[in-house]
Amino acid sequence: MDHLQEFLEEKVRQYNHSSFIPSDPVQVPHLFQRKEDIEIAALLTATLAWGQRPVIIRNARVLIEYMDSDPYQFIIGYEEEDLKPLLGFVHRTFNGFDCVYFIKALRKIYLKHGGLEAVFTQGYHVSGSVYGALSYFRDVFFSGEVPGRTSRHVSDVRAHSAAKRLNMFLRWMVRKDTNGVDFGLWSGIGTADLMIPLDLHSGNTARKLGLLTRKQDDWKSVEELTSFLRTFDPEDPVKYDFALFGLGVFEKF
């Protein structure tokens, strides 16, 4: 186990580095300095984060350009006419109608709920867990009339989803270190409570390393894997996401 931890720590040092940013979708929120711009760009980029990485990055940048490269001001100040160009946006199954709903839901969150940090933090404090934060965010995001298909673009942990993209978004927002990849903008959620962003690559790598026994990539697997990683670093278990993802994607482990 000591050897395995040492191996993972080495891989964290290799990939948790500013040189990682240009190859990763996290580069998109790194275009901004204002907290709200970073949050919005990060959530939208994370929402698009499935498929080929160059395509994710390209389409996330296109979406930001639709918002005049000023996402917070666009969201709080748009007129209905400003939303029409967004109807032409497509990324895999995420289309223009989904995009418009997201923009409107984000406006409500910033104008009526105090912003993304306030919503996630409220869910976290009420429940004492990231599971509760993700559930509460989804409830707020889809309060009101929701186009039926749009709801699948925000994972539901109560339906046992691994919620990879939302957990990745929280890693970006919450986790703090000096390496410059994650932003560490939010202080109301504990880094120790973050859950691993589990996908096909990281799940397969974790199984090969003996970190995960469950075969499905679902919430129970997220809990199992995160619990194991906490034995290595109880204060920052999700730092090993860099190792698992780097091994799976870049090294084809």
Question: Tens digits of per-residue pLDDT, 84-124?
Answer: 999 999 999 999 999 999 999 999 999 999 999 999 999 99
Tell me: pLDDT of 151 over 80: yes
Tell me: pLDDT of 40 over 80: yes
Query: What gap in Å lies between CA 119 and CA 53, rounded to an integer?
Result: 29
Confidence of residue 247 (pLDDT cuts 50, 70, 90): very high
Confidence of residue 250 (pLDDT cuts 50, 70, 90): confident
Residues near 165 by Cβ (< 8 Å), separated by ≥ 6?
Answer: 46, 47, 49, 50, 155, 197
- The confidence score (pLDDT) of residue 129 equals 98
Tell me: pLDDT of 157 over 80: yes
pTM for the full model?
0.96
Residues 189-216, mean pLDDT to the nearest whole number: 97
Angstrom CA distances, 18 to 13, 115, 186, stand at: 11, 28, 20
Instruction: Record the tokens describing residue 146, joined without a space.
Output: 């929701």
Tell me: pLDDT of 148 over 80: no
Amino acid letter, residue 106 = L
- 24 backbone φψ class: left, alpha, beta (φ>0; ψ -120 to 50): beta
User: Mean pLDDT over all residues of the chain?
Assistant: 96
Tell me: pLDDT of 146 over 90: no
Confidence of residue 72 (pLDDT cuts 50, 70, 90): very high
Angstrom CA distances, 128 to 1, 40, 112, 141, 162, stand at: 30, 24, 23, 20, 18
